[in-house]
Structures are given as structure tokens and as C-alpha cells.
Structure 1
Amino acid sequence: MTRALLLLPLLSVGIHAVPTVPGEVQTVLSDLAAYSNLAASVFGSVADGIEHLVHDALDGAKDFLGKEKVGIYEWAYGAGGQFVHQDGMTYELVAHPAFAEHSLRFTEPDICDSTVKQYSGYLDITDGKHLFFWFFEARNNPGEGPLILWLNGGPGCSSSTGLLFELGPCNIADEGKNTTYNEFGWNTHANIIFLDQPINVGYSYSDDGSTVNTSPVAGKDVYAFLELFLARFPKYASLPFHIAAESYGGTYAPNIASVIHQANKALATMGTRSPVPGDIRINLASVILANGLTNPLIQMASVPDYACEGPFAIFEPDGPQCQSLRSKVPTCERLIQSCYDYNSRFTCVPAALYCWSQLFGPLQQTGLNLYDVRKKCDKSKDGDLCYKEMTWIDTWMNTDANKRALGVNPDLKFQSCNMEVNQAFMFQGDGMHNSADLLPELVNDGIRLLVYAGNADAMCNFMGNERWVSQLDTEFHEEFLGAQSLPWVTEKSGQLAGAVRSAGGKGYTAGNVTFLNVYDAGHMVPYDQSEAALDMITRWLKDVPLSL
């Protein structure tokens, strides 16, 4: 990791003559801006004369650089003048007193959707871990819209899947040569961050062999990223913050939300006695789980029910395949319960190996796309994940020009999904833990929960998701059990898009605990039902009912 640039001793920063090399100009601007800020904080009003000299020098540099370099000038002075030059690129650098081993470096791209403000770059952790992010402002009223963190799952899959294939401002097109404008992008009314985590996923990387293989550790890294991001961009810090995560994100997101919530509670007890100045309370408003894996004990047991009795049944209900699947459930449940009871990789890994192989193996042999069982999967044409667009994403993200625009080393090879990361999590048994156990405290403290699932997804089916939500031990438990499923009709087109159950809010809000069954959609709901997905997220963020 390249450390934050140190402020030079007071007398060593002079008012330099403007150099003749633009790269040197940037360094001098950095020193001048840092010196001006330091002088103001240390000497107060005595620094006024020094500050005028600094302004004069900066104005001279601005004239020298020309109008095309005005952005560099403003950046250097306004942001405190901390820069890092790496891989032939220049980033702004952000540090935070609470995170001595973390820093944020970023640039401002102009691709995908040039109509909105963007930032992209890295959270650098210690000397080896680097998490990539890409931020887009809302198309409408960004200063008032909420802030969303979007995560894809895997584990090991890049959030570029959500960005370029599902809900981002642009869609991958032309076999990865171009992107097209997505009119149903979730940044229509929300500011949104796409984060590649943990390390070695997507554009994120490790340069010292560091790895992350559990969701609790990954959650702490994400929290550090959010603190640095909001410290640099405080105008987003007061906005309602929502974590939205898909697939294995159903495991990630409760862990991240729990870390944020515990940190917020600690800050509340410290008050003005906080030992670390600048700690930011993240305004966590809701957790959104999209076709997630959250409570495997309940969800794994639902696999035969979905495969044999679901809306797109794979096997005959009374056939031998269904009988065989159902016979595997008791052993799977016993192994997962041992994982829950002992919380050890020695109990959790056997549960993962048995349940995935014995319950999903027969489904995979059908040749169906388990992310959307309405479709066949030809991996020779559609790729390992059964969507040819996923291979297009790899092409686009591996284009040198796009990498440089995003502040990514062109030598870094992008993969949509890293199977080494996937296996590392698997052999820790991470995915067999009950992440749902982390949610009741959040819900009871006012953080809302939305769980949605496409009804054509066999990987994290809607039946299992609705069941674990029904068993969630919150103050809304009894109300949710008694709640009926109501029609969800989109506001713009009047489409019957699904069915919603909700508790809390007395029918005047979107609810405190809400489950949404999305019709005619697979694992990636925003891909299959773009307009409906935007309707869903818009109403949820505004906290208005999704039902009629």
C-alpha cells in the first residue's frame, strides 16, 4: 500500500517557482495545499498572510497548466493536496485517524454513464489488500437521494455483474465492446456504490498473498471502506444508507450490517468522549437481500420442495428423483445444525460439502440453468454461469482503456468470478453459518429488512427465503406470520409483478420486515424484470407500500 503523503515540516515547504513539468506541478500543488491547511490549523489567523501567498502560487500554476488542467488545480487545493502516483496514474488519497492501516485512493471516470458524477478506485488495507469500488451519483437529486452499497455474491464474484448486467447505469452490449444506457438503473433516485470484495475478486487484488475467507472479516474491511469514503464525501454521510446484496450477499450483508450497527452503538455511548476524532455514524436504514443464502438450515431443506412442487417444477412430485432428494434432507439438516451449534469449520465444511453435492448435484445434471430454471444451460455457448453476457463483462473489464479510466492497473486480469476465493470460503464452512441470527437486533432497533426472490431461481429459491423470514425472531414475528401475501403491481405500467408480505408500519409504509416474491424472474431479478425491480427499490427507499 502507498501510504498517505506526510505533511512536510513547516519550513521545508516553500513557495516554489512553477516548474516546467506537469507532473512536478501536481506534486507542488499537493505540498502547497497541504501546507496551507496545516498553517491554518496550527497558526490560526497568523497564517492569513501565508495563505494569500499560497493562493497566489496556486493561481499562477492554474494559468500555467491551462484551462484543461483546472480540475487538477481545484482537486489539489480543495481536497487537501494528498496524491499518490501508481501504475502510471494519479489518484487522490484519503486517510482516516480511526483506520491507521487503511487509505482510499480514487479517480473520476467518465464512462458507463457520463451524465452523472462518478468515483472509482481502491481501499488499500495494510500493505497487501486492495478493494476496488465504483460509485455513481443519482440521476435525480443526488443530494437528497439515499446511498446504496451493492454487493454480488459467489463467494468470489465481482459486483460488476450487478453494475453491467442487472441494475447499474449501463448494460454490457456488443459482446463486450460497448455499453448501453440503462433507463432502469437503480441510480435513477439513489447514489450507489459497487464494491468488489473480498480481496482477489474482480478488480480487487492482493500483492502480498493476503486472503480473506470468512464473512465476518470481510465485513470489517467493508466498514473501513465506508468510513473512509464518507469521510471524503461527507455530503453522503447524512443520507439514509442501504446495503443491498445478492446471492452469497445474503451471508455478507448481515455481517456487514452488524459491524456497522455495533460501531454506531459504540459511538453513541462514547458521545463527545470518542478517542478517535472524525468517526462517522453510518445512517444504516435497511438491509436488502436479493435471492440470498442467509439461513441454510431452512433454505437447503426447501430444495426438494422447490424442485418438485415449485412454479417451474424440475421433477415429477412423486418420481424417484424427488424421493431421493427428500431422503437427503435429514442428514443435511443434522450436519448444518452441528455447524450452528459448534461454529467450527470441522462441522461446517462437511455440511457444505454434503448439502451442495447431494441436493444440488441432481439438479445440475438436468442441464437447466439453475439461476433460471425456465432456460437450458449450454456452457459451451453461455459460459460457466449460463449467461453469455457474463463473458462479455470479462471482455469489457479487461480492456486497457476502461481499466485506465477506472484507475486500474492495465496489467491486472479481471475475472467475473474467482473460484479460488469461492473454494477458500467453502473450506471454512462460511456459507453454512446462520447469518439470519444477526438480523433481529438490527430489525428491533429500527433497521428495515427487505428480502426478495425471483420465483424461477433454484439456487436460492423463494420458498426457502420466505420460510426463514417467517421464522425470524423479531418483534414483528407474529405480525408477519399473520400477514397475507398481497399483489405487487408496478406504479408505472400496472404490471402484476409479484406478491408481498409485510409486517410493521401499519400498512402505511413498505414495512419493517418485508418479503417479495418476484414473478417470472430468476436469480438476477433486475435482469429479468428491469422495470419492476426499479419500482421495487424506489418504493422501498421511499418507504411506501409495495402492495395495492
Structure 2
Amino acid sequence: MKKVFSLLSLALLPAVLAAPADEAQVVLGGNVHFQSGVFPVQDAVEGIIDKGKEKVHQWFEDRKQFIEQHGLTYELVQHPHFSDYKLRITEPKLCDPSVKQYSGYLDITDDKHLFFWFFESRTSPEDAPLVMWLNGGPGCSSSTGLLFELGPCSISGEGANTTHNPYSWNAHANMIFLDQPINVGYSYSEDGSTVNTSPVAGKDVYAFMELFLSRFPEYSTQPFHIAAESYGGTYAPNIANVIYTENKQLPPLPVPGLVKINLASVILGNGMTDNYIQMASIPDYLCEGPYPIYDDPNGAQCAALKSKVPTCQRLIKACHDFNSRLTCVPAALYCNSQLYGPIQQSGLNPYDARVKCDPQEDGPLCYRQMGWIETYLNDPEVKAALGVNPQRNFESCNMAVNQAFMLQGDSMHNTPLLMTEMINDGVRLLVYAGNADMMCNYIGNERWVEQLDSIFLDEFSTAETEQWVTMRSGKVAGTVRSAGARGSGAGNVTFVTVHDAGHMVPYDQPEAALDMITRWIMDIPLTLDFMELAAPVVPFGGI
């Protein structure tokens, strides 16, 4: 099988050294004072931590703790409620030097390290919501979304540099890009640890958010949105479920050091979320969709493809019923091999049915820019600026992680069930999909949203499909169905079909993607036309 099709998707397939007190040379005791509480830290104002192969220098300055490791300096953030987690932070000036940035690692014990890169909003960061972006794979770095789709800069010059992205999602949002699970992108493990299921990610991301918001409380008062692409359609509901559950367990009175994360919405772009429904949509898309690969929807090829659906759904139902690797892995292996086969053999870009793909020229993921990103992020100067050990190697997608998830049948679980309670409780859901994507097609995405069990089920199932016109150009960008809007908001459950876009909507339709995300986080209906939106032009700035 060609390597190009071994990933189910770019975002589908389709952190740092903690210093135990007894290892430090104690000089003087003290506490670090943050706006949200007092955090007990190491007793050393200055000392050397013996980490075996290397010595880590630590000290205090302006009531902050710092460490120097492999020639790089980080601020070290600790939390009394998360003793196994620490945050290492540096302040790069890359990509978009005009906005405040932080990058570094969430360290889980001494062995697992998750990389993050944060950008403040270009507009009123003190009032802007906080958005976390996750790519999928599983095994693909969120830096691909940052540098290829929706970040403040776009990769260029075959990886030699970057250019300003006027359609970045940080136009009106504070943005976090997180590489998870471990061994994805710049993230790594030192003891051979691996993660092969989505539920494991939830706990780590929750801990990251608590440490990040405790250190930067200025971002904690605004709504928080989790946005994810492709296999992120499985990641994000798991992460959101952990955050929602932890929020409910907080006592009525504030707990010093603990932040209630203001989970406002889950945003899924061309996601893999409900494979029982989405796998069954593949023959419909390939045979009767806007970009069919077969000429005759009633021909032998389409009939053969449709004949695979009942077995696939029976296996997925067994996975749902028994929730076991023994039932979920057969479902994953059968459905992926039988229903994605025509896509693999079509010679087309699986993420954009409108164009052909030559792996020799376009790269293993059909986009040359993926290779450019690796070139850029493996530059020693870029690594140093981001707080990454110069010896670490960056890969856009890690196939070992991808296979590990596949061999757990992770994608076959009933992920929508994780969202029912939170949606009923007011957490909003936006699902969008480009209509040229074959991997996570828009037909299957709309169908699972239409059948999502929530208090909005009946309203959404009867909701009309309406046009979506962008505010800046007045262009018809796609269609919208929504429930819960009550005429004044963007909806509690909303589905958007994006015209002339593939798997990576912000790459194919940057203006439309920015229009969509900005209206969503501002709770402005996408169904309002250009003239109706003339009044609130000001808060949209320069979209």
C-alpha cells in the first residue's frame, strides 16, 4: 500500500524535567505567588538537580522559578493539585512577533512531555476567548494546523521561512496549539511510554489547562473552545468530557489554585466522530456525492462497496456493546480496509477529491507543505526559540502512534455519547466539513449530527438548510443547519457544509473559515446575510 494512504488523515488517520526536592541542593525555602494562589515549590533558590545524564540548574527570580536545561532557559510552573505535572515555559518571537507568545512543555512525571505553542489574539486579547487547536492522525502534530491552515503564519520557501497569515484564527481568539499524545510532533517520552487511546489524553490536557490558566489567569475568565480536525473528532469529545466532569466536581466556593475552565463549545472540522454512521456514508459520497469517483451510482463497483456496510456496522455495534479491544479492533481493521480501499486506489488526493496526488512529487500526505514544515521545525534556531531540545527530531505525523491507536480500535467507540450531557447543559457544538473531503466526508458528518442524542435532536432534525454568506466578500461559502439559536445566536448544535473545500478547510477557504470561527465564538448566526451584518462590522476588525 502506498504510504500516502497509510494515514487515515492529516489530522485523522485516515513538559519538563520535574525536580523532586530531595534531588536539589537546598539553599533557601520559599513560595511562588501567582494571582490565583500560592504554590509551594522547590526549596532551592539556586541549585543543581542531578538528572543522571545531565545537570539541570534551577533558581528563583522575581518570585518565579527557572531552570536551565540542555542550554535552554525555562520558567517552571508547578501546581499543588497536580503533583505529577509541571509546565516549562519560554517566550519565542517567531511566526508573528507582533503578538505575545509562549511555548514549551507540559511535563508528566519525569518521562512524558507534551509540547505547546500559544499566541495571543491580534485584537483585544484581554477580552478574546481562548481556543485550543488539535490536529488528529492519530499521530499528527498540531503544528501542521498552525503552519499550514490557521495559525498566525504560513510555511513558505520550502521550509526556509514563514509568511504572515491575514486569516489566522488568532484574529479574535487567544490560540493554543498542543502536540498530543506523547511522541507526536515535538512531544516525546523518555522511558518508552506510549499512549494508544483517546481517553488517556483527556486527563493530561485537563492538567495542562489548569497549570496554564493558573500561571496566566488573564486568559481564564473568557470562554474556552476546543477545536479539532479529523481524528480530533475523537480526541476533542474525550478531552471536553474530562473538563466538563472535573468542572462539575468543583465545590461551590473557589478552591485556591484551581480554575474552573469555562468550557463553551466543541468545534469539529471534518472530524471522525461516529464511525457507525460515517463509515456507512462512504459509498454514498464516492458514488453520488459532488465529486464521485464512479460514473454509475447503480453500477457493480458501487454495489460492491455498499455491500460492505452491513458487516462494518455490525462489527462497530459489537464494539459499542462490549467496549472491548477484542471487538473494536476487528471493526477498525475491516471497515478501514474495505471502505477506504477505493479512496486509496483512486489516484486522487484523499483529502481533496478535486485534485490528483502523486506521492513522489506531492509527498506522502499529498501536500508538499508537510515536508516544508518538517524542514522549518527541525532548524536548530527554531527549536531553541521554542524551547525544544536541539537533539529532538520533528515529524509531521508519527506512524507508530497511528498504528498503536488502530490496534486498540480507538476510533470505533461511541464518541458522541461523551457529549450528550454537556450539550444538554449548555456546551455548544459546531461541526463543519469541506464538501471535497473523501476521508471524513460532509454527508456522514451531517448525518451523525442529525442523530446526536441531545435535547436539540428534534429541532435539528427538522432544521432547514440555509445559505451562509461571508461578511467580508459577500460570497456564498456554504450552508448551515442549526438548533438552539432562537434567532439571536449561532446555535447550540450547528452543522456547516463548506463549499469548494477539502479536509483542511482553513487552507482551502481561509476567509470563509475565519468568518465561521469568528461568528461562532462571538455567537453570531452564520445565517445572517452580509447586509444584516453591516451593523456589527466593527468587532470583526479586518477579516
For the superposition of Structure 1 and Structure 2, which TM-score range results when normalised by the shorter chain? 0.7 to 0.9
What is the match of residue 221 of structure 2? Answer: 238
Cα deviation code 1:395-449 (max 9, x no counterpart): 0011110000000011101000000000001101101111111111111000000
Q: Is the 8 A contact 2:460 2:481 kept in 1?
A: yes
Report the counterpart of residue 67 of structure 1 in structure 2: none
2:265–2:429 contact (8 Å) kept in structure 1: yes
Which residue pairs with 2:3 in the alignment?
A: none
CA 1:486–1:410: 2 relative to 1, 3 Å: same
Matched, 1:295 2:274: yes
Which residue of structure 2 aligns with residue 88 of structure 1? Answer: 71
| Contact preservation (8 Å) 2:446, 2:495 | yes
> C-alpha distance in 2, partners of 1:186/1:296?
28
For the 8 Å contact 1:450–1:515, the answer to whether it is kept is: yes
Q: Give the equivalent residue in structure 1 for 2:450.
A: 470
User: Out of 129, 152, 174, which is 2:157 matched to?
Assistant: 174
Aligned residue in 2 for 1:354: 334
**2:252 matched to which residue of 1?**
271
Out of 491, 494, 497, the position equivalent to 1:514 is 494
State the shift of 1:384 in Å. 1.1
Asked if 1:125 corresponds to 2:102, the answer is no
- Who is 2:208 aligned against? 225
Matched, 1:3 2:18: yes
TM-score normalised by length of structure 1? 0.87
Structure 1 CA distance for aligned equivalents of residues 526 and 267 of structure 2:
14
- Which of 268, 291, 308 is equivalent to 1:328? 308
1:321-372 per-position Cα deviation (integer Å, ceiling 9, x unaligned): 2111001001000000000110001100000000010000122101110100
CA-CA distance at 1:319 after TM superposition: 2.2
Q: What stretches of structure 1 of length at least 5 have no aligned partner? A: 14-30, 43-53, 55-74
Read off the aligned partner of 1:85 and give its amino acid letter: E
Q: CA deviation at 1:85?
A: 1.2
Secondary structure, counterpart of 2:258 in structure 1: coil
CA offsets 1:34-68 (integer angstroms, 9 cap, x no match): 57969xx99xxxxxxxxxxx9xxxxxxxxxxxxxx
The number of residue pairs the alignment matches comes to: 490
2:91 matched residue in structure 1: 108
2:405 equivalent to 1:390: no
Is contact 1:503-1:513 (8 Å) kept? yes
**2:511 — aligned with what?**
531
Aligned with 1:507: secondary structure?
coil
C-alpha deviation, 1:507, in angstroms? 1.8
CA distance in 2, matches of 1:7, 1:479: 60
Matching residue's letter, 2:294: F
The aligned amino acid for 1:253 is A
**Matching residue within 294, 297, 311 for 2:290:** 311
Match of 2:118 in 1: 135
Task: Kindly state the Cα deviation for residue 271 of structure 1 after the two structures are TM-superposed.
Answer: 2.7
2:397 alignment partner in structure 1? 417
Structure 2: distance between partners of 1:7 and 1:334: 55
Higher strand share: 2
Deviations 1:229-284 (A, max 9, x none): 011000101110000000000000000000000000000xx23495xx31110000
Structure showing greater relative contact order (alpha-carbon pairs closer than 8 Å, 6 or more residues apart): 2
The CA distance in 1 between the partners of 2:496 and 2:106, in whole Å, is 34
Change (3 A) 1:482 1:110: same
Shift of residue 6 of structure 1? 5.3
Deviation of the 1:87 alpha carbon: 1.2
Alpha-carbon displacement from aligned partner over 1:206-235 (angstroms, at most 9, x marks no partner):
001111111001111111111110110001
CA distance in 2, matches of 1:37, 1:266: 25
TM-score normalised to structure 2 length: 0.88
Tell whether 2:414 aligns with 1:434: yes
1:12 Cα deviation after fit: 4.7
Aligned partner of 1:542 in structure 2 is 522
Cα deviation for residue 77 of structure 1 reads 4.0
- Which amino acid in 1 is paired with 2:282? V
- Which residue is equivalent to 2:385? 405
Q: Is the 8 A contact 1:196 1:204 kept in 2?
A: yes
- 8 Å CA contact 1:254–1:439 kept in 2: the answer is yes
Work out the CA distance in 1 between the residues paired with 2:342 and 2:18. Answer: 51
Contact kept in structure 2, 1:246 and 1:291, CA below 8 Å: yes
Residue-by-residue CA offset, 1:150-174 (whole Å, 9 max, x unaligned): 0000000000111000000000001
Backbone CA RMSD of aligned residues: 2.0
Q: Which residue identity does 2:381 align to in structure 1?
A: A
**Secondary structure at 1:82 match in 2:** strand
- Deviation larger for 80-89 or 441-450: 80-89
- Alpha carbons of 1:105 and 1:517: their partners in 2 closer, same or farther (altered >3 Å)? same
The code of the aligned residue for 2:126 comes to G
Q: Residue type matched to 1:461 in 2?
A: N
Report if aligned partners of 1:4, 1:94 keep a CA contact under 8 Å in 2.
Answer: no
Amino acid at match of 2:83: A
1:453–1:523 CA contact under 8 A, matched in 2 = yes
Cα distance in structure 2, aligned partners of 1:36 and 1:126: 20
Q: Does 1:201 align with 2:184?
A: yes
Counterpart CA distance in 1 for 2:300 and 2:283 is 12
Q: Look up the SS of the partner of 1:187 in the other structure.
A: helix
Q: Paired residue for 2:9?
A: none
In 1: Cα distance, 2:134 partner to 2:17 partner: 26
Do 2:32 and 2:65's aligned partners in 1 also have CA atoms closer than 8 Å? no
Distance in 2 (alpha carbons) for counterparts of 1:352 and 1:35: 50
Partners in 2 of 1:321 and 1:142 — Cα distance?
53
Q: 2-side partners of 1:118 and 1:86: how far apart?
A: 20
> Match of 1:446, as an amino acid?
G
Q: What one-letter code is carried by the residue in structure 2 that aligns with 1:396? A: Y
Given that 1:145 and 1:190 are in contact with CA atoms closer than 8 Å, whether structure 2 keeps it comes out as yes
Q: Does 1:497 align with 2:469?
A: no
Amino acid at match of 1:120: S
1:127 offset after TM fit, Å?
1.7
CA distance in structure 2 between the partners assigned to 1:8 and 1:410 by the alignment: 25
Task: From the two aligned structures, give the one with the greater helix fraction.
Answer: 1
* Letter matched to residue 375 of structure 1: V
Kept after mapping to 2: 8 A contact 1:4/1:103:
no
**How far 1:473 moved relative to its partner?**
1.0
Q: Tell whether the 8 Å contact from 1:5 to 1:83 is kept in structure 2 after alignment.
A: no
* Kept after mapping to 1: 8 A contact 2:32/2:64: no
Q: Do residues 165 (structure 1) and 139 (structure 2) align?
A: no
How far apart, in 1, do the equivalents of 2:214 and 2:273 lie?
31
Among 273, 282, 290, the residue aligned to 2:261: 282
Q: Which entry has the higher C-alpha Rg, 1 or 2?
A: 1
